[in-house]
Structure 1
Amino acid sequence: MSLKDRVDEVVAGLGGIRPELEGFYEDLHAHPELGHQEHRTATRVAERLGSCGFQVHDGVGGTGVVGVLANGDGPTVLLRADMDALPVREETGLPYASKAVGKDASGREVPVSHACGHDMHVTCLLGAARLLAAARDAWRGTLVALFQPAEEPGDGADGMLADGLTDLVPRPDVAFAQHVLPYPAGRVGTRAGSFLSAADNIRVTVHGRGAHGSAPQAAIDPVVMASMIVVRLQTIVSRELAATRPAVLTVGSVQAGTSGNVIPESAELLLNVRTYDEETRRAVLAAVRRIVTAECAASGADREPEVEEGTRFPPTVNDAAATREVAAAFAEVFGEHAGTAELQSASEDFSRIPDAFGVPYTYWALGCVDPDAYEAARRGGTVARDIPVNHSSRFAPVLQPTLDTGVRALVTATLSRLAARDGA
């Protein structure tokens, strides 16, 4: 039996559970939860895994859930979905749009929505897990379904590992994950090697000397220092890196002062750096420190600036052999709707899990935009303007065919590794 025949056999049950999966997705979308707060989501995930025969471990790393389904001798495959939402006010106009509010890590009340599609990831993995559990005569081996909290803050995978994940579940032979991206729904895209960038978050504090706004000669103005630093930092990528070494440097926040007629004592900048290899990362971070220090010295600052490195996301570098196998499986099952994904400057913490087990992984793109809308924007050259991207208040996957495609992609990748039943 061909792989496509095996996938079709397992996915034959999708029609029967599709309405339930769609309802689950809409409910999850309407009830998002921030990282480390995914209690409702985790409870519902654990219930559904248990109902279809998985051995369930909940509370892993706080709110993480892992299901293990052993089905005879054979390889072990780990499938991962992230569960958390973002502090973003949803503006999609969907009938099931989120109106939720929550409190972030600092205790501030913020709007909450699934502006990155993690609700789709959860629903697809639950659908795939249920179909594979219902068709256990079609495969042999062990399936690990892992639902990870707190991907957005970047410490969810570490939390699960610190809580003993590698001792809790069988060591997988390979790990798979997928992410919705703003490409036509119905398509899947793989990429061997570098796929997602590493990310470093940096806090810079520059110290000046405060004074009355009418007497700048009595001050060392940290606002001017911060402004010069922002401009100069943009030359790192444009003037210090070769065009063949991609990187992104963004200053996402500048905070200083409380009044227009008071020159403050200090200013704070929050930076985000994206790179794809360690050499480039070190070069960019060193350049940031050099520029910040030099601009403060040029302004005559009395105190040295503070450059603090914060949360870091690892790069996602897909294993060549595993990706080649999944790409071939996708080509067989999806035909012309399978292709090569573009290099992404987004970041993930998924790779920490297979790296901790010491196993290969591959991570692929799942299209989620209405195909007609995408094609119209492409023809008009307005994709960047008209197609909302992840983390936008207007971002939400079109429910179908995204859901069906995501379920089928997970089943396809899984069956490409799990042994077929005897005689199949």
Structure 2
Amino acid sequence: MFARLRPAPLYLALLSALTATTSQAGDLSWVDPAVASVNAQVISLRNTIHQNPEMGNQEFKTAALVADQLKSLGLQVRTQVGKTGVVAVLKGGLPGPVMALRADMDALPVKEMTGLPYASQATGIRLGKTVPVMHACGHDTHTAMLLGAAKVLAEHRDQVAGTVVFLFQPAEEGAADVDEFEADTLIGAQAMIRDGALDSPKVEAIFGVHVMAGYPTGHLYYKAGTVLNSSDGFRIIVKGKQTHGSAPWSGVDPVVASAGIINGLQTLVSRRADQTQGMGVISVGTINAGSAANIIPETVEMTGTIRSNSAQVRDTLLKKMPPLVQGIASAYETEANLLLVNHAPVTTNDPQLTAAMVPALELAAPGKVQRLESSLSPSEDFSYYAEKVPGLFVFLGATPEGQDMSKAANNHSPYFTVDDKTLATGVKAHVQFVMNYPGRAGHGL
């Protein structure tokens, strides 16, 4: 994994010059001790949130905790943004731009197997069914780190140039109360944007940090341009005519037709998408059909995901998929109903903003900043914010340095863990974004 990485390109004259000066924000030597002073509280908050996870659009207790913490800092706080989201505004003591910092709050329907003393035993209701719930992607750490950054910045607001908007977002992983194939309700980042999260005040740039297992604690990773794949979901219902398995000619077999559709979907990537523009993946994750081995069923339902690191490839796959599915279904004398659901576009880091903020990353993690050589395969609805304003989304290592990175349980695993020691670096990254942006990127770069 790390063979693809190389040190941050500080040899570039511009970035070297920026690193040599501490920016217009002035002396930032106070940041590290200020972060250290809140570290125990950040870890405690993270443990509390981890032990009490809530799924998308159900983050009621988490949002209440967040709002209480922010109000105690004297910030302007707005709740129920994007349903359960929280937005807080800090006005600095110096003139400057409006900057946003974003964290997501939701957990996943996963049964925790970590054995941690603060492991989740919680359950929740997802689409009417009781499921186990776990912070298996690190959103508990994101929330705690941003709360820590809010405290540090609030306590030093006289040194903050401009205004900071703290976005605590629900439903990044999807909503537990919305069937994506049955409703077109906006959730997550889209719902936050709809409710004015970037508009009051008007945000100029946005930053986000995501913990990643298999990357060492305290290390930060970044990439200009495409950094994460797009994500789209699909459901296909293939209808045939039920009959006895011993006489398939007396009915119409939707199972065989579905097999043809699944194979055909792969040709969209290999034969229809321009491979010079990027990669694409179409994966079928569920197939449900029939109730007996000797009966050809009436219908087959399948669901899956489409991912790409290219807007052009994504567009091709989404446009070519409906006629291909219909054509193959028709060839088998079946009927097919295809529903596409757009989850997130490609996550793109603004190149100018990224280059300008590398020194801020270096201040947060000296000697531990690396540039990703290629984009990563997951997806993030942070991409919707980055379509509205310049954005930078970076990754924070979550696995202790002494461990074998290749054996770390991945994000979304029931064994996924985050090293407490990495949280301080995440807090520093948020603070350094705010303290460095006005002088390095927002004005005159």
Task: Specify if TM > 0.5.
Answer: yes
Q: 1:253 aligns with which of 272, 279, 286?
A: 286
Deviation (angstroms), 1:231: 2.9
How does 1:317-396 map onto structure 2 within 5 Å?
A: 317-341=348-372, 342-356=374-388, 359-373=389-403, 376-377=404-405, 383=406, 386-396=407-417
Moved more, 58-67 or 279-288: 279-288
In structure 2, do the counterparts of structure 1 residues 180 and 230 end up closer, same or farther at CA, with 3 Å as the change threshold? same
In structure 2, do the counterparts of structure 1 residues 79 and 87 end up closer, same or farther at CA, with 3 Å as the change threshold? same
Which residue is 2:435 aligned to? 415
Which residue is 1:380 aligned to? none
Separation of aligned partners in 1, 2:257 and 2:36: 61
Deviation (angstroms), 1:227: 2.2
Separation of aligned partners in 2, 1:419 and 1:67: 23
Deviation (angstroms), 1:399: 1.7
Deviation (angstroms), 1:63: 0.9
Query: Which residues of structure 1 form unaligned runs of 5+?
Result: 378-382
Deviation (angstroms), 1:295: 2.7
Separation of aligned partners in 2, 1:8 and 1:84: 34
> Which amino acid in 2 is paired with 1:300?
E
> Which amino acid in 2 is paired with 1:338?
V
Which residue is 2:119 aligned to? 97
Moved more, 277-286 or 5-14: 5-14
Q: Secondary structure at the match of 2:379?
A: coil
Deviation (angstroms), 1:5: 8.0
2:160 equivalent to 1:152: no
How does 1:230-269 map onto structure 2 within 5 Å?
A: 230-241=262-273, 243-244=275-276, 245-269=278-302
Normalised by the length of structure 1, the TM-score is: 0.89
Deviation (angstroms), 1:287: 3.7
Deviation (angstroms), 1:333: 4.4
Which residue is 2:37 aligned to? 16
> Which amino acid in 2 is paired with 1:267?
V
Q: Secondary structure at the match of 2:382?
A: coil
In structure 2, do the counterparts of structure 1 residues 44 and 319 end up closer, same or farther at CA, with 3 Å as the change threshold? same
Identity over aligned pairs, percent? 39
In structure 2, do the counterparts of structure 1 residues 240 and 311 end up closer, same or farther at CA, with 3 Å as the change threshold? closer
Q: Deviations over 1:136-188 (max 9, x none)?
A: 23332211111011111172122223223344x21122111111122111110
In structure 2, do the counterparts of structure 1 residues 397 and 389 end up closer, same or farther at CA, with 3 Å as the change threshold? same
Which residue is 2:181 aligned to? none
How does 1:58-77 map onto structure 2 within 5 Å?
A: 58-72=79-93, 73-77=95-99
Deviation (angstroms), 1:69: 0.9
Q: Secondary structure at the match of 1:143?
A: strand
Deviation (angstroms), 1:46: 0.6
Q: 1:282 aligns with which of 295, 306, 315?
A: 315
Q: Deviations over 1:359-406 (max 9, x none)?
A: 311111111112221xx35xxxxx2xx222221222121221x20111
Q: Secondary structure at the match of 2:305?
A: strand
2:197 equivalent to 1:176: no
Query: Which residues of structure 2 form unaligned runs of 5+?
Result: 1-20, 175-185, 441-445
> Which amino acid in 2 is paired with 1:94?
L
Separation of aligned partners in 1, 2:399 and 2:218: 9
In structure 2, do the counterparts of structure 1 residues 311 and 279 end up closer, same or farther at CA, with 3 Å as the change threshold? closer
Separation of aligned partners in 2, 1:5 and 1:367: 28
Separation of aligned partners in 1, 2:26 and 2:138: 30
Q: 1:257–1:263: 8 Å Cα contact kept in structure 2? A: yes
2:196 equivalent to 1:164: yes
Separation of aligned partners in 1, 2:128 and 2:315: 34
Which residue is 1:209 aligned to? 241
Normalised by the length of structure 2, the TM-score is: 0.85
> Which amino acid in 1 is paired with 2:430?
L
In structure 2, do the counterparts of structure 1 residues 100 and 51 end up closer, same or farther at CA, with 3 Å as the change threshold? same
> Which amino acid in 1 is paired with 2:101?
L
Q: 2:49 aligns with which of 15, 18, 28?
A: 28
Deviation (angstroms), 1:76: 1.7
Which residue is 2:155 aligned to? 134
Which residue is 2:426 aligned to? 406
Q: Secondary structure at the match of 1:197?
A: strand
Deviation (angstroms), 1:419: 6.0
Q: Deviations over 1:68-118 (max 9, x none)?
A: 1112322221100011111111122212111111011x2111111111111
> Which amino acid in 2 is paired with 1:30?
Q
Q: Secondary structure at the match of 1:85?
A: coil
In structure 2, do the counterparts of structure 1 residues 156 and 226 end up closer, same or farther at CA, with 3 Å as the change threshold? same
Q: Secondary structure at the match of 2:367?
A: helix
Separation of aligned partners in 1, 2:257 and 2:300: 8
Paired residues in the alignment total: 404
How does 1:51-62 map onto structure 2 within 5 Å?
A: 51-62=72-83
Q: Deviations over 1:29-58 (max 9, x none)?
A: 111101100000000001111111211111
Q: Deviations over 1:106-139 (max 9, x none)?
A: 2111111111111110011011110111122333
Q: Deviations over 1:190-238 (max 9, x none)?
A: 1111111211111111111101223222222111222232233233334
Deviation (angstroms), 1:320: 0.9
Q: 1:74–1:419: 8 Å Cα contact kept in structure 2? A: no
Q: 2:309–2:375: 8 Å Cα contact kept in structure 1? A: no
> Which amino acid in 2 is paired with 1:91?
M
Moved more, 154-163 or 138-147: 154-163
Deviation (angstroms), 1:354: 4.9
